[in-house]
Amino acid sequence: MNILTIDTATEACSVALEFNQTLYTRYEVCPQQHSQKILPMVDAVLKEAGATLAQLDGLGFGRGPGSFTGVRIATGIIQGLALGSELPVVGVSTLAAMAQQVIASENSAEVAVAIDARMGEVYFGHYRSNNGVAELVGEEQVIAPEQVAEQLDVATMAIAGTGWNAYPVLTALLGPEHNVRVSYPYARFMLPLAVAQLKAGAGVSAEAVTPEYLRNTVTWKKLPGR
């Protein structure tokens, strides 16, 4: 399947294109520059592949959770691309994408993902590998770090996300060799999740695209020194 995915939900900005069974990607950690970076990245991968949107089967985007502004940027950009091309769109969880990267790179059976949500909370998801594809266990949540510690024994699990080192209660759960595998989502690892949704008929029109914030009231609280 020929498909383009984009993500701007966190400090990282990325694009991935699978075209004629070849992968083309761009990835950059560039806080507060996503709106300037994302479209040139899209243009770059399409030119590198010699492809046009009209030749694709669908589009995918990081629907969140993450930065309110970042999620809105990806939502707006994918709607614009879909309106012009009339391609179906699927939203991919940023938490699932991070779990997918760990599963794909390390063949992990279980992954706990926690992104710092500020305001003393984390965006959290627990995933298992189902034939190499990240599958959510339970539901994605925005919760206090203490609740993560209560829910899971992470000693035997792979971990991903900025939340683990943002709060002492979570850092304390990690052993000396229990490192965070992935800090930010990457559109490349949204591809298999997006393809699965498109094949299942879950694609929607540009007008029906919706982000996922998890938190009803979103406030961006800067870290000290920012």
Whether residue 42 is found in the same domain as residue 59: yes
Q: Are the CB atoms for 126 and 109 separated by under 8 Å?
A: no
pLDDT in tens, 82-122: 998 999 999 999 999 999 999 999 999 999 999 999 889 99
Q: How confident is the model at residue 174 (pLDDT cuts 50, 70, 90)?
A: confident
In this predicted structure, the answer to whether residue 43 has a pLDDT above a threshold of 90 is: yes
Of the chain, the percentage scoring pLDDT greater than 90 comes to 83
Residue 31 preceded by cis peptide, ω within 30:
no
Closest CA to 60 of 20, 99, 96: 96
Rounded Cα–Cα distance for residues 35 and 83 (Å): 18
User: Domain check: are 166 and 87 in the same one?
Assistant: no
- What band does 216 get if pLDDT is binned at 50, 70 and 90? low
The pLDDT tens digits of the residues spanning 186-214 come to 999 999 999 999 999 999 999 999 999 98
3-state secondary structure the chain: CCEEEEECCCCEEEEEEEECCEEEEEEEECCCCHHHHHHHHHHHHHHHHCCCHHHCCEEEEEEECCCHHHHHHHHHHHHHHHHHHCCCEEEEEHHHHHHHHHHHHHCCCEEEEEEECCCCCEEEEEEEEECCEEEEEEEEEEECHHHHHHHCCHHHCEEECHHHHCCHHHHCCCCCCCCECCCCCCHHHHHHHHHHHHHCCCCECHHHCCCCCCCCCCCCCCCCCC
Q: Are residues 42 and 147 in the same domain?
A: no
The tokens of 70 are what?
Answer: 């970042």
* pLDDT exceeds cutoff 70 at 219: no
What pLDDT score does 215 carry? 73
- In this structure, the answer to whether residues 59 and 142 fall within a common structural domain is no
Is 67 a domain residue? Answer: yes
Same-domain pairing of 7 and 84: yes
What span, in angstroms and rounded, lies between the C-alpha atoms of 77 and 54?
16
Same domain, residue pair 8 and 84: yes
Range of the domain at 156: 95-171
Q: Which residue has the tokens 């490192």?
A: 179
d(CA 57, CA 51): 12
Tell me, yes or no, whether 52 and 100 share the same domain: no
> 76 lies in a domain?
yes
Residue 19's pLDDT is 98
pLDDT > 70 fraction of the chain, expressed in percent and rounded: 94
Is the predicted pLDDT of residue 225 greater than 60, yes or no? Answer: no
Question: Per-residue confidence at 223, pLDDT binned at 50, 70, 90?
Answer: very low
Same-domain pairing of 115 and 164: yes
13 shares a domain with 33: yes
pLDDT tens, position by position, 133-172: 999 999 999 999 999 988 888 877 899 999 999 999 998 8
Cβ atoms within 10 Å of 35's Cβ, excluding its own: 15
Domains in the chain: how many in total? Answer: 2
pLDDT score for 220: 35
If pLDDT is split at 50, 70 and 90, which confidence band does 177 have?
Answer: low
